[in-house]
Amino acid sequence: MKTLLRLLKYILPFKKHLLGASGCMLIYSTCTVAMPWMMKQLIDTLPGKEPDKINLILLSTFGIALILGLARYGQAMLLSFIGQRVIFNLRSRIFDHLLGLSISFHKEKKKGEIISRITNDVLILQNFFSEEILSIIKNPFIVIGSISVLLYIHWKLTLLTLVLAPLAVFAIIRFGRRMRGIALSTQQRMAGLLGMTTEILHNIMTVKVFTKENYEKERFAFKNQDYFKFSFKGIKLISLSGPLVEFLGTMGIVIVCGYGAHQVIEGSLTTGKLVAFLFYIGVISSPLKSLTNANLLIQQAISAGNHIFEILDVEEEERVNNPIKIKKGEIQIENLSFSYRKKPVLSNINLKIENGERVAIVGPSGAGKSTLINLILGFYHPDVGRILIDGQDIKGCSLLSLRQSIGVVPQEVALFSGTVSENIAYGAPNYSTKEIEKAAVSSCADEFIAELSDGYQTEVGEHGARLSGGQRQRIAIARAIIINPKILILDEATSHVDQESEKLLRESITVVMRNQTTIIVAHRLSSILSCDRIVVMNRGEIAEIGTHLELIKKNGVYKRLYESG
């Protein structure tokens, strides 16, 4: 119930539309209740053979039907508008919130599961807000109005009807409880299926290289069968609930007809009133029957809402209104320790990187190199210690301003669908063509760009699929350089570039970043020999610091890495 109330809060900005829709629903409900009464008037008038009165009743009935149609159109349009706008706002809210969540959230959550919540769960809510909420609000008006008229027609017959009705209501409630569990299980399985499909398609090259097509087909078939099984459970329940409620309703009508017929024979009820009474039972039974499906959709909406609020309730990254001012790019790391999921990753890190210094960070896999970079970027906060940039603790500064001052080329280069030019200027969309070309020259990307079919306007494809690994890396370097960062971080930035191109690229970056701080994370040690200092990490600690020659003389971790490379 709490979830449903939270969802309904999204309707509040559309009070005027909701008021208009409520007015239309009130008119529609009144006309719906009036129609059987007009049938009663017509039938009771027929024996008197009064054509003028009959014509008036028919004309009035036509007028009521016209008003009913217009009211139905009005309520449908207004509620559809509300539903679409609510979903538009909710989808935007989810997406905005996702962008504000921490890197750790995105690493722990499966992409397919998140996509399922933005698409499938939001689609369920769209159906609920645009259609089912109409029935939920409208049906009570019709039921209350119809019961009031039934009591007026024949209160004893009405009481008999109300005694029989709880059987159908009880069946609906029982089915509703089972539907809630099935709806939740079905949605969870759809999220899992979508997540697995996204993962397989994202890694399609790996699947083909290892000839695992049949294995993935079997995995997909298993997940798909599991989803089908639970989905079909829901279908069976709906298929059973509808006829059962209808059967109970029909039995009730037969009993009411039998008692009503005796009342007509005894003269306490007219034929017109009995016909109208049966019409009203039909008017009431329709909302009750729709309640079976509506109940399922309500349970699905609650389940979808829970999935969405699970995301929205996760706290975003801290948004401190204290922009960091980086003029030099001096980095001071003091007594830093960090654990991930209670597992120690970094321990007692102390490091100072001077303004304009070129520092390499090396070490075996799992030494903590990338984690240290993520901490400098504010993706995580240290358990102990602090990171200062130009004397400012980054934990108390705006992450937006911090990241705007740092150029990063990540280990896994990410390009977006679009042109080469758009990808280079991604971090700075207002840059001129000359500045984009200058950044491309600095990253040694200009030569291969000139050979592309449309040059800088060439589409790179999804994830940059139309470019080679080395070409993608050079565009990523240009993207980092163009913002003129005070600090440049290169995390395995040249791993896909041949040694000759790497040398040219290194020299070019050195010129561009001669007055800025540069941090290079590398496995290929030949690429960092000319760095001012090399920081060697091992098992989450700094094992050695020095120049290439100094570290070789120490005969320690660095020398072993260098000789093994």
pLDDT band at 565 (very low <50, low <70, confident <90, very high): low
Strand order in the sheet with 358-362: 406-409, 487-491, 517-521, 358-362, 533-538, 541-546
**Domain for residue 281, yes or no?**
yes
CATH number for the domain that contains residue 279: 1.20.1560.10
Question: Which residues on adjacent β-strands are paired with residue 393?
Answer: 388
pLDDT band at 534 (very low <50, low <70, confident <90, very high): very high
pLDDT, tens digit, 9 for 90 and up, residues 159-204: 877 777 666 666 666 666 676 677 767 777 877 787 788 777 777 7
**Same domain as 432, residue 393:** yes
Inform me whether the pLDDT recorded for 51 exceeds 80.
Answer: yes
**Domain for residue 317, yes or no?**
no
The torsion angles phi and psi of 168, rounded to 5 degrees, stand at -70, -40
**Same domain as 299, residue 351:** no
pLDDT, tens digit, 9 for 90 and up, residues 316-367: 877 777 888 888 899 999 999 999 888 899 999 999 999 989 999 999 888 8
Sign of CA dihedral 135, 138, 140, 146: negative
pLDDT, tens digit, 9 for 90 and up, residues 374-386: 999 998 899 999 9
**Domain for residue 24, yes or no?**
yes
**Domain for residue 380, yes or no?**
yes
**Same domain as 400, residue 291:** no
**Same domain as 98, residue 129:** yes
pLDDT, tens digit, 9 for 90 and up, residues 281-311: 878 777 766 665 676 677 788 888 888 998 8
How far apart are the C-alpha atoms of 87 and 82, rounded to whole Å? 9
- Give whole-number Cα distances, 145 to 120, 171, 281, in Å: 37, 24, 12
Q: Is the pTM of this model over 0.85?
A: no
- Give whole-number Cα distances, 469 to 139, 288, 474, in Å: 61, 62, 9
Inform me whether the pLDDT recorded for 116 exceeds 90.
Answer: no
Sign of CA dihedral 323, 327, 329, 334: negative
Tokens of 249: 């309703």
Query: Look-up: residue for tokens 């009464």?
Result: 37
- The residue range of the domain holding 273 is 2-312
**Same domain as 336, residue 262:** no
pLDDT, tens digit, 9 for 90 and up, residues 248-273: 767 777 777 787 888 888 888 888 88
**Domain for residue 326, yes or no?**
no
pLDDT band at 209 (very low <50, low <70, confident <90, very high): low
- Give whole-number Cα distances, 545 to 21, 262, 346, 485, in Å: 72, 103, 16, 25
Range 369-376 average pLDDT = 92
CATH number for the domain that contains residue 452: 3.40.50.300
Comparing 258-262, 275-279, 291-295, 554-558, which segment has the lowest mean pLDDT? 291-295
How far apart are the C-alpha atoms of 161 and 183, rounded to whole Å? 32
**Domain for residue 324, yes or no?**
no
**Domain for residue 123, yes or no?**
yes
* Structural domain ending residue among the three candidates 312, 342, 360: 312
**Same domain as 130, residue 18:** yes
**Same domain as 428, residue 384:** yes
Q: Closest Cα partner for 496 from 518, 516, 476?
A: 476
**Domain for residue 319, yes or no?**
no
Burial of residue 367 (number of CB atoms within 10 Å: 0-12, 13-18, 19+)? buried
pLDDT band at 8 (very low <50, low <70, confident <90, very high): confident
pLDDT, tens digit, 9 for 90 and up, residues 384-418: 999 999 999 998 888 888 888 899 888 888 888 88
**Number of structural domains the chain divides into:** 2
